[in-house]
Amino acid sequence: MRRAVPGAGLMLELTRRCPLHCAHCSTSSTMRSPSGPPEPFLRLVGSLQEWHPPDVLVLSGGEPLLRPALVTELCASAHEAGVRVSLISGMFFAAARRPGRAITEALRSVDLVTASVDRFHEREVPRRALLRTLAGLRDEGVEVSLQVTVADGDDGYVPALVADLDSHVSADVPLMVCGLAPIGRGAEIAAGGLGDATARPAPCTLAAWPVVTWDGRITACCNQDVVDGPAPAHLSLGHASTHSWRDVAGGLRRSPLLRSIRTVGPVATAAGAGRACGGYCETCAGLTGVTPDVPEVMEELVVAAQAEMGAAAYAARFGIREHAALVERGWAEVAA
């Protein structure tokens, strides 16, 4: 399970724009949302081969396939560095049997397409059209997976979706199933909060892969509040227009504070420094200026332990526990 390994992945938010209007959107994306220039993304990805490249490049948005030519160019550059590319899409084009040459070329360029599908997406992208598109991608040799968001009372949605997936695409397509979060437009319909992990310290897996935002800022965390900015100083890793992958990954790995957050979590880090503790992410946001002393070997042991626990353990922690095993569907075939 590579998600816990510092610098094993790099995530790019290619745009905030999206043609869909899903009620649960964490970024409140619309076609009027901002979209930055392509050069910072191309510059940073072009530097991957210069120093210990990541295993995977993750392209997201908004809707990254609104910029298909950029996706294709980034894939070519990443593949030159030996980096696999994963793309997360709302699949707005699925209803069209021929989505267009540029999107088709972009889809063929990536190694994994993760489709977002749930009750909210299905109001705009019919399930039948989505399944047809996923089957076509598999026929083209592109791996596919699903990212599913469920709300309270949606217990029957996932089993029905899995049954349709097995019948029309394949029984080995993995699914990551998460709960509805009160972020962006989702804040209007989600019940409760994001959760509070102050009861016991826990390593923050999500501080391991840098995120490049739509305007080129680079953060150490994919929390939407951090990505939206302004990011706390200890979670800021520079800008894609001026920093190379060596700068970004090196800073991520060398920072004593980020190492402590990844190893024992922000709550234990704050407690050790005499700082006030609140919610898990809220505590992290207030840690700027703390300089804990966590040996690198301790982080290595924590990373190794998380890797041994596997992807299902990650899915249980950050998603819906009862559906966690779905993330390992087809795992034996992928590993082989």
Lowest mean pLDDT across 13-27, 41-55, 172-186:
172-186
pLDDT beyond 80 at 296: yes
Report residue 180's pLDDT band, with 50, 70 and 90 as the boundaries. confident
| 133, 107 contact by CB (below 8 A) | no
Provide the percentage of residues in the chain whose pLDDT is more than 70.
Answer: 94
pLDDT beyond 60 at 93: yes
Whether the CA torsion 19, 163, 105, 331 is positive or negative: it is positive
pLDDT value, residue 129: 96
Tell me the sheet residues that pair with 179: 150
Max Cα separation, the chain?
59
Give the neighbor-by-neighbor strand order of the sheet with 236-239.
175-179, 143-150, 112-116, 84-89, 56-60, 9-13, 211-212, 217-219, 236-239
Q: What is the identity of the amino acid at 296?
A: E
Residue extents of the structural domains in the chain? 2-254+311-335
The predicted model gives 25-35 an average pLDDT of 90
Distance of alpha carbon 255 from alpha carbon 262, whole angstroms:
11
Q: What is the DSSP string of 82-101?
A: T-EEEEEE--TTTTSSS--H
Identify the residue with better confidence: 272 or 86.
86
Say which residue the tokens 């199933």 belong to: 177
The predicted model gives 100-129 an average pLDDT of 96
Domain 2-254+311-335 fold is TIM Barrel (3.20.20)
pLDDT value, residue 191: 56
* pTM of the full structure: 0.93
Whether the CA torsion 277, 279, 282, 287 is positive or negative: it is positive
pLDDT value, residue 336: 40
pLDDT value, residue 196: 43
What tens digit of pLDDT does each residue of 228-287 get? 999 999 999 999 999 999 999 999 999 999 999 999 999 999 999 988 888 899 999 999
The predicted model gives 74-100 an average pLDDT of 94
